[in-house]
Chain A
Amino acid sequence: MRSTLVVFRKEMLEILRDRRTLIAIALAALASPVVLYVISQVSSRTASETYTAGYSGDIPAGLGVLFSSTGLKLEPVADPATAAKQQVDIGIVFAPNELDEYYDPTRQSAQIADIRLQEILSKYDGAKVAASLQQKGVDPSVLDPLPVTVHPLSSPTQAAGNGFLSFFLPYILITMCLTGGLSAALDTSAGERERKTLESLLLTPAPRAQVLVGKTLAVTAISLAAALAAIASMLIALTQVRFGPGQGSLPVTLNPVAAVVMVWLAVLLAIAFSALTIALGTLARNFRQGQAYATPLYFVTIFPASIVLFIPDFNPNLGYYLIPILNAVLVLRDAIVHGTVAASSLAVTSASLLVTGGLCFYAALRLFTREALLVRS
Chain B
Amino acid sequence: MTPSAVRIDRLEKSLGSKKVLRGVSLEARPGEIFGLLGPNGAGKTTTLRVICTLLAPDAGSVDVLGFDTRTAPEEVRRRVGVVTAEFGVYPRLSARENIAYFAELSGVLDGDLHGRVDAVIDRLDMSSFAQQRAESLSSGQKQKVAIARAIVHDPPVLMFDEPTSNLDVLASREVREFMVEARGRGKCVIFSTHVLHDAERLCDRVTIIHEGRVVAGGPTAEVRGPHEDLEDAFLDLVETSP
Q: Bound pair: A and B?
A: yes
B-contacting residues of A (Cβ < 8 Å)?
Answer: 2-3, 6-7, 10, 13-14, 17-18, 195-207, 211, 371, 374-375
Contact partner of B54 (CB less than 8 A), chosen from A2, A3, A10, A199, is A199
The answer to whether B88 and A203 touch across the interface, beta carbons within 8 angstroms, is: no
Known contacts: A371-B54, A374-B55, A375-B15. The answer to whether A204 contacts B106 by CB under 8 A is yes
Selected from A17, A198, A206, the residue in CB contact (under 8 A) with B92 is A17
Could you show 25 A-B contacts with beta carbons less than 8 Å apart? A3-B105, A7-B105, A10-B93, A14-B90, A17-B92, A195-B89, A197-B90, A199-B84, A199-B86, A200-B82, A200-B88, A201-B105, A202-B54, A203-B77, A203-B82, A204-B102, A204-B106, A205-B74, A205-B107, A206-B105, A206-B106, A371-B54, A374-B49, A374-B55, A375-B55
Give the residues in chain A near B54, CB-CB below 8 Å: 199, 202-203, 371, 374
Complex alpha-carbon distance, A10 and B96, angstroms: 12
Is there contact, CB below 8 Å, between B88 and A205? no
B178 interface residue per 8 A CB criterion: no
Identify which of residues 40-89 in chain B touch chain A, using a CB-to-CB cut-off of 8 Å. 49, 52, 54-56, 74-75, 77-78, 80, 82, 84, 86-89
Q: Are B77 and A197 in contact (CB under 8 A)?
A: no
Asked whether B181 is an interface residue with its Cβ less than 8 Å from the other chain, the reply is: no
State in angstroms the CA–CA spacing of A14 and B92 once bound together: 6
Is B12 engaged at the interface, CB distance under 8 Å to the other chain?
A: no
A200 to B101, CA, bound (A): 11
- In the bound complex, what is the Cα–Cα distance between A17 and B97 (angstroms)? 13
How many Å lie between the Cα of A211 and that of B146 in the bound state?
Answer: 20
Task: List chain B residues, Cβ under 8 A from A207.
Answer: 74
Residue of A nearest to B49 (CB): A374
Nearest first, the 4 A-B pairs at minimum CB distance are: A196-B88, A204-B105, A197-B88, A17-B92
Task: Specify which chain B residues have a CB less than 8 angstroms from the CB of A211 in the assembled complex.
Answer: 105
Bound together, the chains give a CA A199 to CA B49 distance in angstroms of 9
- Closest Cβ–Cβ distance, residue B62 to chain A (whole Å): 15
B96–chain A nearest beta-carbon distance, Å: 12
Across the interface, which residues of B come within 8 angstroms of A197, CB to CB?
88-90
Given A18-B92, A199-B84, check contact A205 B101 (CB 8 Å): no
Contact residues in B for A199 (Cβ distance below 8 Å): 54, 82, 84, 86, 88
Does B91 count as interface, using CB distance less than 8 angstroms?
A: yes
**Distance between A139 CB and nearest chain B CB, rounded to angstroms:** 82
Once the chains are docked, how many angstroms separate the CA of A18 from the CA of B90?
12
Residue of A nearest to B74 (CB): A205
Chain A contacts for B107, CB-based, 8 A: 205
> Closest chain B residue to A196 by CB distance?
B88
| Complex-state Cα separation, A197 to B86, whole angstroms | 9
In whole angstroms, how far apart are the Cα atoms of A22 and B133 in the complex?
A: 18
In the complex, which residues of chain A have a beta carbon less than 8 angstroms from the beta carbon of B194? none
Within 8 Å by CB of B149, from A13, A198, A200, A206, lies A200
Cα–Cα distance between A198 and B52 once the two chains are bound (Å): 14
* Complexed CA–CA distance, A203 and B107 (Å): 12
Contact between chains at A195 and B105 (CB < 8 Å): no
Q: Which residue of B lies closest to A194 (CB)?
A: B88
Contacting pair A203 B80 (CB below 8 A): yes
Set B56, B75, B78: member contacting A371, Cβ < 8 A: B56
Q: Does B104 contact A (CB under 8 A)?
A: yes
Whole-angstrom CA separation of A17 from B94 in the bound complex? 11
Contacts of A3 in B (CB 8 A): 104-105
- A196, B93: Cβ atoms closer than 8 Å: no
Is A196 touching B92 in the complex (CB atoms < 8 A)? Answer: no
**Other-chain residue from B82, B87, B104 in contact with A196 (beta carbon distance below 8 A):** B87
Q: Which residue of B is nearest A15, CB measured?
A: B92
How far is B134's CA from A10's CA once the two chains are assembled, in angstroms?
14
Residues of chain B contacted by A206 (CB below 8 angstroms): 105-106
How many angstroms between the C-alpha atoms of A206 and B106 in the bound complex? 7
A371 nearest in chain B by CB position: B55
Would B55 and A200 count as touching, CB distance under 8 A?
no
Residues in A neighbouring B89, C-beta threshold 8 A: 195, 197
Given contacts A195-B88, A200-B88, A371-B54, A205 and B82 within 8 Å (CB-CB): no
**Which one of A7, A195, A198 has the greatest number of beta carbons of chain B within 10 Å?**
A195
Contacts of A375 in B (CB 8 A): 15-16, 55
| Contact in complex: A205, B106 (CB < 8 Å) | yes
Residue of chain B at shortest CB distance from A373: B54
Question: Please, which residue of chain B has its CB at the minimum distance from the CB of A375?
Answer: B15
B106 to chain A: closest residue by CB: A204
| Complex Cα gap A371–B53 (Å) | 10
- CB-nearest residue of chain B to A195: B88
**Closest approach, in angstroms, between the C-beta of B209 and any C-beta of chain A?**
18
Chain B, Cβ-Cβ closest to A210: B105
Q: A219 to nearest B CB, angstroms?
A: 16
| Docked CA distance A282–B76 (Å) | 25
Contact between B101 and A6, CB atoms less than 8 A apart: yes
Assembled-state Cα–Cα distance A198/B80 (Å): 16
Central interface residue in B56, B77, B80, B101, by most chain A CB within 10 Å = B101
**How far is B77's CA from A300's CA once the two chains are assembled, in angstroms?**
41
Residues of A within 8 A of B105 (CB): 3, 6-7, 201, 204-206, 211
How far is it, in angstroms, between the C-alpha of A237 and the C-alpha of B47 when the chains are bound? 61
Which of chain B's residues have a CB closer than 8 A to the CB of A7? 105
Given contacts A197-B88, A371-B15, 15 further A-B contacts (CB under 8 A): A6-B101, A14-B93, A195-B89, A198-B88, A199-B82, A200-B88, A202-B54, A203-B52, A203-B54, A204-B106, A205-B75, A205-B105, A205-B106, A371-B55, A374-B49
Question: Which B residues are CB-close (under 8 A) to A6?
Answer: 101, 104-105
Determine the distance from Cα of A197 to Cα of B78 in the docked complex, in whole angstroms: 18
Query: Which residue of B is nearest A374, CB measured?
Result: B54
